[in-house]
Amino acid sequence: MLRVGLSGGIGSGKSTVAGRFRELGAVVIDADQLAREVVAPGSEGLAAIVERFGDVVLEEDGSLNRAALGAVVFADPQARRDLEQLTHPRIAARTAALVEAAPADAVVVHDVPLLVEKHLGPGYHLVVVVGADERTRLRRLMETRGMTEDDVRSRMAAQATDGQRRAAADVWLDNGGTKEALVAAVDSLWHERLVPFERNVRHGIRATRSDDLVLHPHDSAWAFEAQRLLERLRLAFGEVAVTADHVGSTAIPGLVAKDVIDLQVGVADLRAADDPALLERLSGAGFPRPADAPRADNAKADGQWPKRFHAGADPGRQVHVHVREAGSPGWRWALLFRDWLRADDVACREYAAEKARLAATGMGVGDYADAKEPWFDGVHERVEAWARQTGWEPRHGWEPEHG
Residues making up the binding site for ATP: 11-16
Annotated binding site: 11-16
Q: What CA–CA distance (Å, rounded) separates 44 from 34?
A: 14
DSSP per position, 285-344: TT----TT--SEEPPSSSS-EE-EEEE---TTSEEEEEEEETTSHHHHHHHHHHHHHHH-
Question: Would you say 69 and 57 are in contact if contact means Cβ atoms under 8 Å apart?
Answer: yes
Backbone phi, psi, residue 106, to 5°: -80, 150
Contact assessment for residue 162 and residue 41, using Cβ atoms and an 8 Å cutoff? no
Residues 6+ apart with CB under 8 A from 229: 261, 263, 312, 317, 319
Query: What ranges in 43-194 are assigned the alpha helix state H?
Result: 44-53, 66-73, 77-101, 134-144, 149-157, 162-168, 179-189
CA 65 vs CA 39, 102, 154, 284, 338: distances in Å: 11, 33, 22, 42, 57
Q: Which residues contact 134 (CB under 8 A, 6 or more apart)?
A: 156, 162
Report which DSSP code applies to 42: T
Instruction: List phi, psi (to 5°) of 246.
Output: -85, 120
Instruction: Give the count of beta carbons closer than 10 Å to the beta carbon of residue 35.
Output: 16
Laid out side by side, the sheet with 308-311 consists of 241-247, 260-267, 318-325, 308-311
DSSP class per residue in 261-293: EEEEEEES-GGGGG-HHHHHHHHHTT----TT-
Q: Which residues contact 207 (CB under 8 A, 6 or more apart)?
A: 196, 197, 200, 311, 312, 313, 314, 315, 318
